[in-house]
Amino acid sequence: MPPGDTSLAPEQINASALPAGYPHDVTLAEGGTVVVIQAEEGGCDKISAKAGEQTATQVVVVVTITKPPHGQMCPMHVREISLPVRLAAPLGGRELVLKPGP
């Protein structure tokens, strides 16, 4: 974890809607205004994350894994990536809800 980043309490993260294989390792940066999702991206798969609905009690982050067209040749290497998502206000005590994207 980079200096200055903080981890969230497990009970503050709701990743129950994410399918198996989706990243859900999360830290906070910049005083809680940036949610950083740590992920492993492999082959031609592309992972992205963006802020969704933000209310007084919860913040939704939408995580999308884009698969390559069927039959495309892809390298078998895996890379560690960080997906920063800027929030309108610090997360604070709100619940972080991770949902799969389209």
What pTM was computed for the model? 0.89
> Cα-flanking dihedrals φ and ψ of residue 30, to 5°?
50, 50
User: What was the pLDDT predicted at 10?
Assistant: 87
CA angle in degrees (0–180, nearest 5) for 54-94-34: 65
- Residue identified by tokens 């069927």 is 70
pLDDT at 67: 87
Please tell me the distance from the alpha carbon of residue 93 to that of residue 102, in angstroms, as a whole number. Answer: 28
89 is written with which tokens? 């206000």
| 29-87 residue pLDDT tens | 999 999 999 999 988 899 999 999 999 999 999 999 998 888 888 888 899 999 999 99
